Structure 1
Amino acid sequence: MEKLSKEATIIKNTKERIWQEALTLFSEHGYDGVSVKEIAQAVGIKDSSLYNHYKSKQEIFDTILIEAAEILNEANDTYLLPLALETEGLYVDISAEDLTEMFVDAFIFYLTDETASKIRKLLVSEQHIQKFAGDLYNELFFDSPMHYLTSLFNELIQQGTFIKADPYTTAMHFYAPMHFLIRRCDIRPDLVQENLTYLENHIQQFDQLYRVDPK
């Protein structure tokens, strides 16, 4: 039984290494720009051995997308962006400083976490080629964030912290510059610090525009 357990662990580890190495290659060269042989070489196994773990390159790609959804949703929970949870009562009396810290931390994670960065670049490159990738990109980077932010700002509006406004439009005003800055960093990694400053300024100005004057 112990031998079987060790073998199962080796198989599991190899399978994970395959999709992780494939993610690196796909994010750099695109799905069509990578062969099974190149993935096997990156892992350090023979082409034929790779097929013991995955039936095809497409199955590896699909596995990456499934793992991507889990990884990024867990990250959102970690950085106080519970996309699948109700926000009622979660951000009572949230300050401008809290808002800035929360979203700057999330921004830094998406830029600096190696796996998250590769996933984002892969989805961007494949969104118009593979429907599954396009649907996931839309869910993770548009629908889910907008759903969460709309709920957040609706609560802040209802409790009188923010001025009366359409919550979805407010969410667009907040999120669009963030998405723009992330894409800008993908193109120009040397501008991360500059874009962080822009993000902080954006959140502070947004807060000034929407927060109810306490007097």
Structure 2
Amino acid sequence: MKTADKILEEALILFSIHGYQGVSVEMIAKAVGIKASSLYKHYRNKQSIFEGIFTMMKDRYQGQEKLLNIPQGAEDVQHFYQQLQPDQLEKISEDLFLYFIKDEKEARFRHLLIIEQFQNPHIGEILHQRYYEEPLLFQKELFQSMMDVGVFKEGDAKIAALQFFSPIMMLLNCCEQGGISVEEALAELRKHVQKFRQLYSKE
């Protein structure tokens, strides 16, 4: 592993445990096994390390989407969804849910953003953007396209996005807090996706 990547991974662990303010560059360097002066050859300061972590996590999530063969272009997404079978939608939803729950780096990153959101407005913005704004915008555009071509019943695409996404986030939070098991969460997730399709699909 390259030193620059090792710095990001060790910093993510430390940040998720001690918080952003509770970690120094010296602590990160020690965890990596290098001197602080050597760390500065890769990153200007602690903020640039955090920005590197954000980029790393964004790339990892996009990689997960590729593994699931989820297209990114609007036209590709529309064609993909039109051909999607009910069990495929459930499978994709389950796989992404499990990624957020079981991927150690993803869990650490989300925990870091949650605990730091009230201390650092910038971190709060990242949390809002990554776990609320971007997913809702994507789903709103997706559902609107489905309504436009007649795959979904006509309605408010933003509300549809909220109806689809909000229960998933609630299940994720409950599962992380130990309120329900992963198996229970997945069972509820399947029911939710099935009900959502029944509500909006013209099938």
User: TM-score under structure 1 normalisation?
Assistant: 0.82
Work out which of the residue numbers 22, 31, 46 in structure 1 matches 2:11.
22
After superposition, what is the alpha-carbon deviation per residue over 1:87-129, rounded to whole angstroms, capped at 9, x for unaligned? Answer: 2322114332121111111111121122222222222222333
Instruction: Answer yes or no: is the 8 Å Cα contact 2:113–2:124 preserved in 1.
Output: yes
Q: Is the 8 A contact 1:93 1:161 kept in 2?
A: no
Matches within 5 A, 1:68-79: 68-79=57-68
Deviates more, 1:186-195 or 1:175-184: 186-195
Q: Distance in 2 between matches of 1:52 and 1:157?
A: 52
Q: How many residues of Structure 1 are paired with residues of Structure 2 in the alignment?
A: 201
Q: Residues 128 and 81 of structure 1: is their aligned pair in 2 closer, same or farther, counting only changes over 3 Å?
A: farther
SS at match of 1:103: helix
Aligned equivalent of 2:52, options 54, 63, 82: 63
Q: Larger deviation: 19-28 or 56-65?
A: 56-65
Q: Alpha carbons of 1:70 and 1:165: their partners in 2 closer, same or farther (altered >3 Å)?
A: same
Task: Tell me whether 1:149 sits opposite 2:127 in the alignment.
Answer: no
Question: Where do 1:26-65 residues align within 5 Å?
Answer: 26-65=15-54
For 2:134 and 2:64, the matched residues in 1 are separated by 13
Per the TM alignment, residue 186 of structure 1 is displaced from its structure 2 partner at its CA by 2.2
1:85 paired with 2:78, answer no
CA change 1:88–1:161 in 2 (3 A) is closer
Whole-Å separation in 1 of the counterparts to 2:2 and 2:84? 43
* Whole-angstrom CA distance in 2 between matches of 1:153 and 1:209: 13
Match of 2:158 in 1: 168
Deviation at 1:181, TM superposition (A): 1.4
Using the TM superposition, give the Cα deviation of residue 48 of structure 1 relative to its aligned residue in structure 2, in angstroms.
3.7
SS of equivalent to 1:24: helix
- How many angstroms does 1:159 deviate by? 3.2
Shift of 1:208: 1.9
**Identical residues among aligned pairs (%):** 33
Aligned residue in 2 for 1:102 = 92
Q: CA RMSD in A?
A: 2.3
The TM-score, its normalising length taken from structure 2, stands at 0.86
The structure having more radius of gyration, on CA atoms, is 1
Shift of 1:158: 2.9
Q: Taking structure 1 as reference, are residues 49 and 23 closer, same or farther at Cα in structure 2, changes over 3 Å only?
A: same
Give CA deviations for 1:51-90 in whole Å, capped at 9, x if unaligned.
Answer: 33333222212221222222223333433444x5212322
**Which runs of no fewer than 5 residues in structure 2 stay unpaired?**
none
Contact 1:154 1:167 in 2 (8 A): yes
Deviations 1:15-54 (A, max 9, x none): 2111110001111221012223322222122334333333
Instruction: Give the Cα–Cα distance (whole angstroms) in 2 for the partners of residues 184 and 151 of structure 1.
Output: 27
Unaligned runs of 5+ in 1: 1-11
Q: Distance in 2 between matches of 1:179 and 1:166?
A: 20
Partner of 2:114: 124
Deviations 1:126-184 (A, max 9, x none): 23333432332222212221122112222332333322211111111000011111122
Match of 1:183 in 2: 173
Equivalent residue letter for 2:15:
F
